[in-house]
C-alpha cells in the first residue's frame, strides 16, 4: 500500500505570496492532519480534517487554512507569506474509523517551504 504523498517536495516563495500544498493520504485513511516543523518550535499541529470538515485546529493565524476533498486528499494554503513561515510542512493520515478513537498517524515526507 502506498504511503502518504506530498507535493511539491520543495518550494521557494517570496514574502507576500501565497502557497498551496497537497497531501494524498494512505488509501482508506479518512483523517488528515497537518503539522509545521521548524528548528525553533519543533513539530506543531496546524489542523485536522475528517470527512471534508476541519475537526481540530492548532494555534496558527488565519493565514493558514486547509480543506479536504471527498477522496480524502487534502490541501493547505498559506496566504501573505512571512519569512517565519519557512518550515517543513508535514501531512499525516490515519484510519479513524470511529470518531474519538486513537489511531496511529502516518506521515508523508513533507514539503520544505523557503520564504525569501
Which residues are at the interface with another protein (CB under 8 A)? 4, 33, 35, 37, 39-40, 42-45, 48, 55-56, 58, 88, 90, 92, 100, 102, 104-110, 112
Q: Which is nearer to another protein, 48 or 85 (CB)?
A: 48
d(C-alpha 25, C-alpha 12), whole Å = 24
Given the complex with another protein, which of 55 and 67 has the nearer CB atom? 55
Dist CA 113 CA 84 (whole Å)? 10
Q: Cα 90–51–60 angle (5° rounding)? A: 40
Give the nearest distance from C-beta 107 to another protein in angstroms.
Answer: 4
- Tell me the closest approach of the beta carbon of residue 61 to another protein, in angstroms: 18
Nearer to another protein among residue 11 and residue 88 (C-beta) = 88
For 22, the grid coordinates are 497537497
**d(Cα 32, Cα 47) in Å, to the nearest integer?**
8
Amino acid at each position: 500500500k502506498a504511503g502518504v504523498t506530498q507535493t511539491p517536495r520543495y518550494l521557494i516563495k517570496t514574502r507576500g505570496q501565497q502557497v498551496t500544498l497537497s497531501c494524498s493520504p494512505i488509501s482508506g485513511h479518512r483523517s488528515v492532519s497537518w503539522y509545521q516543523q521548524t528548528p525553533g518550535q519543533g513539530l506543531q499541529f496546524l489542523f485536522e480534517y475528517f470527512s471534508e470538515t476541519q475537526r481540530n485546529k492548532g494555534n496558527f493565524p488565519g493565514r493558514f487554512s486547509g480543506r479536504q476533498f471527498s477522496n480524502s486528499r487534502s490541501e493547505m494554503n498559506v496566504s501573505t507569506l512571512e519569512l517565519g513561515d519557512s518550515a517543513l510542512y508535514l501531512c499525516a493520515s490515519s484510519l479513524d474509523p470511529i470518531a474519538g478513537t486513537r489511531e496511529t498517524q502516518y506521515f508523508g515526507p513533507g514539503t520544505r517551504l523557503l520564504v525569501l
